[in-house]
Amino acid sequence: MAIGDDPPDRTHVLGLDRDVADIAAVRRWARSSLPGVDEDDLGDVLLVLTELVSNVHDHAAFPARVELRWSPHAHLVRIAVQDGSTSPPQLRRFSADAARGRGLMLVNQLSKQWGVTELATGKTVWAVLHCTTTP
């Protein structure tokens, strides 16, 4: 690569359907799709990914898809989860003894930014995380 050339963005897409509820398989796919991301940063990416995909399984409509975009030069990973539900996720308060309900709070805390894009046939929930490369 010549000086001044930026490494290209890398995009990976995984389709989800109701029969593919194995979050561990989605995490393995993401790990293999993001070689070179620092291990600590990768942990945050996998946690955010887990929360967004879990929300699809708990609240949304299938089919769905996950898109990971790694921009090495910008040190960013963008996670986008598209599904067929028009209901937006909601960041909620939770009690300290609640067993569930912290997912979007984690996404909000770990992400540089996150949001929802409405589509004609559903929505995309996305998050952007700052990620360095391994030395």
User: Nearest to residue 67, comparing CAs of 11, 125, 130?
Assistant: 11
pLDDT of the chain along its 135 residues, tens only? 344 555 678 899 999 887 655 888 999 999 999 988 999 999 999 999 999 998 888 887 788 999 999 998 889 999 999 999 988 887 766 655 655 557 888 899 999 999 999 999 899 999 999 998 765
- CATH code assigned at 72: 3.30.565.10
Q: What does the DSSP 8-state code read for residue 120?
A: T
- 99 lies in a domain? yes
Q: How far apart are CA 54 and CA 125, in angstroms?
A: 12
Q: Are 76 and 127 in contact (CB under 8 A)?
A: no
- Rounded to 5°, angle at Cα 49 from 47 and 54: 95
Q: How far apart are CA 89 and CA 91, in angstroms?
A: 7
Q: What is the pLDDT of residue 80?
A: 97
- 40 lies in a domain? yes
Q: What is the pLDDT of residue 109?
A: 93
Specify the number of domains making up the chain.
1
Q: How far apart are CA 64 and CA 124, in angstroms?
A: 9
Q: What is the pLDDT of residue 15?
A: 92
Q: How far apart are CA 61 and CA 46, in angstroms?
A: 22
- 97 lies in a domain? yes
Q: How far apart are CA 7 and CA 105, in angstroms?
A: 32
Q: What is the pLDDT of residue 1?
A: 39
- 8 lies in a domain? no
Domain extent at residue 34: 15-130
Q: What is the pLDDT of residue 62?
A: 82
